[in-house]
Amino acid sequence: MKGFLHITLLLLMFCVAHAAVPRDCSQAIIGIADSWDHSTVTISVAEKNAAGQWVRVLGPYRGRLGRAGLVWGLGLHSNPWFATVKQEGDGRSPAGIFSLGGLWVTNKKPVSHDTRIPYVQVGPADLWVSDPAYPHLYNKHVRLNHPARTAWEKKEQMRQNDYAHSIKLLIGHNTDNPQVGAGSSIFFHIWRRDGSAPTAGCTAMDEQHLRSIIARLNPDRHPVYILLPRQEYAKRRSSWRLP
């Protein structure tokens, strides 16, 4: 029994040690929701100053989450044991700590950004696969050598004429060795109807606020996205080294 308890304690210590904001991170987008079931979120950007203290540099901005609220996602953090984790089509935004990927753009107005951030001009040949029937492609970008034409290709095609999706910043949920069915295509993007509409699982906000955040991102600061309900944020603030 003592051996079992010792192993359990070690496992718990391992989870805590690997749950925190990475030590080289000095820039974070922070999303705080009132509860797991809320689809509204308050978004800000914080950076470490010369003294190593976190200081808010942008926001707070209002944003929208998935229509069903939040659920634990797959990112840089360790989820609680037996936690419910995001599933494809559940209408929830993934909670936790996530890396940030590149930009995916159809917007005609240039998006100011650090040129080291990958930038993809999305066209009719670009897919983002959410179909669990294709595990080797799941939650990955695929560029065809022709415009999407089959029914499946068009279903997986990245949005072409949808203004809300004309500027997208990839949130690193389930992107490293993706688990099939655990949720795909999670981005920051422009909100709909001035924020009166929720998303299917992404984080959406006013276009100018999104542009300001993207322009501020600095790869040298190893930025992350932290999305949590308010109570979870307060509970984990110390152990996860949250801003």
pLDDT (tens digit per residue) in 48-103: 999 999 999 999 999 999 999 999 999 999 999 989 999 999 999 999 999 999 99
Reported confidence tier of residue 230, pLDDT bands at 50, 70, 90: very high
Instruction: Determine the 3-state secondary structure of 212 from DSSP.
Output: helix
Range of the structural domain that residue 66 is part of: 2-122+159-236
Is 138 contained in some domain? Answer: no
> What's the domain count of the chain?
1
Res. 16: pLDDT tops 50 = no
Distance separating alpha carbons of residues 194 and 200, to the nearest angstrom: 16
Is 10 contained in some domain? Answer: yes
pLDDT (tens digit per residue) in 116-159: 999 999 999 999 999 999 999 999 999 999 999 999 999 999 99
Is 141 contained in some domain? Answer: no
Is 145 contained in some domain? Answer: no
The predicted structure's pLDDT at residue 5:
38
Is 151 contained in some domain? Answer: no
Is 139 contained in some domain? Answer: no
Element at 213 (helix H, strand E): helix 207-216
10 Å CB burial of residue 186 (0-12, 13-18, 19+) is buried
Is 144 contained in some domain? Answer: no
For the chain, how far is it from start to end, CA to CA, in angstroms? 39
Distance separating alpha carbons of residues 99 and 75, to the nearest angstrom: 7
Is 192 contained in some domain? Answer: yes
